[in-house]
Amino acid sequence: MKRMTIGVAAVVSLLATSAMAADLTAPKPYVKAPPVVATVYGWTGFYVGGNIGYGWGRSSNSVDISNLATGATLFTNTSSNDVDGVIGGGQVGYNWQVQNWVLGLEADIQGSDQKGSSNLVCVGCANGGTTDITTTLTQKLSWFGTVRGRAGILVTPSILLYGTGGLAYGEFKTGGSVTGNGVGGVPVTVTFPGTSSTQVGWTVGAGVEGKIGGNWTAKLEYLYMDLGSVSTGPIATTILVPRRTDAGVSYSSALRDNILRVGVNYQFGGGPVVAKY
């Protein structure tokens, strides 16, 4: 009986050892890992969009009034004034994405309600020092546009920080009036014809643009714009100081503008792509 028990124990021990060895040496079946799914945003392609914003402009002005008959200067002065208002328009462009960098070209056209005016007063500059002359200048930026390059970096796959700069152009209107004292000291105002000129200048700025869903992006952008100066003269007019005087009005105005605007773009071919790795 004792010998039988020892034999059974030996057989059980041998089977257990064989099973453990087989478990250690047998290869485990291969299980493929699940794919990693990620959303990748592409920025290469054409886009179109619209924007709205506000412009804080500043006009620097100078005015000269001279006697057309004698050439004598009656009035000269300088001033500055704000040219502010709402702007809005549309843009079109193309982006090239190279890894985390995005390069592009963009053109936009804007309607503008920016306007302002200034008064320039020459105290006692006519009629032997007894008569004041007041000149009023009015300015309006009717519309403007830009053609710019853009260069930026993707801080995330869906958010672009960029700088921009290039050509700016727009229609800048300037007009006004001259007021002198008539007979009996009664003020008389004469309006002189204004000028409307399409100016060409430059612009620089920066912005941030982000994917907001599908092929749509939203952006916030700042631009500084310099449209140079517009000048004219002498424009023939008549003032009374107190006698009738044929005068020539010459003036110049230089516009510098700060623009802040928000916009949306629709990008063709730039929507999200589901990629598996």
DSSP codes of every residue in 148-205: EEEEEEEEETTEEEEEEEEEEEEEEEEEEEEEEE-GGG-EEEEEEEEEEEEEEEEEEE
Q: How many residues does the chain have?
A: 277
Q: What angle do CA 89, 94, 97 make, to 5 degrees?
A: 135
Residue 77 confidence class, pLDDT cut points 50, 70, 90:
confident
Which of 163 and 174 is assigned the larger pLDDT?
A: 163
DSSP annotation of 206 reads E
Q: What is the pLDDT of residue 188?
A: 76
Helix (H) or strand (E) holding 18: helix 2-25
- Does residue 110 contact residue 89 with C-beta atoms inside 8 Å? yes
Residue 179, token pair as written in the block:
């007021």
- The residue with tokens 């424009």 is 235
Q: Quote the CA–CA distance of 183 and 180 in Å, as a whole number.
A: 10
Average pLDDT over residues 165-194: 81
> Average pLDDT, whole number, for the chain?
81
Q: Domains in the chain and their CATH numbers?
A: 44-276 (2.40.160.20)
Q: Would you call 21 exposed, middle or buried from its count of C-beta atoms within 10 A (0-12, 13-18, 19+)?
A: exposed
- Does residue 264 contact residue 50 with C-beta atoms inside 8 Å? yes
The pLDDT tens digits for 194-219 are 788 899 999 999 999 999 998 999 99
Instruction: Check whether 74 has a pLDDT greater than 60.
Output: yes
Q: Quote the CA–CA distance of 64 and 255 in Å, as a whole number.
A: 19
Number of Cβ within a 10 Å radius of residue 60: 15
Please indicate, yes or no, whether the overall pTM of this predicted structure exceeds 0.85.
no
Q: Quote the CA–CA distance of 242 and 127 in Å, as a whole number.
A: 7
Q: What is the pLDDT of residue 234?
A: 73
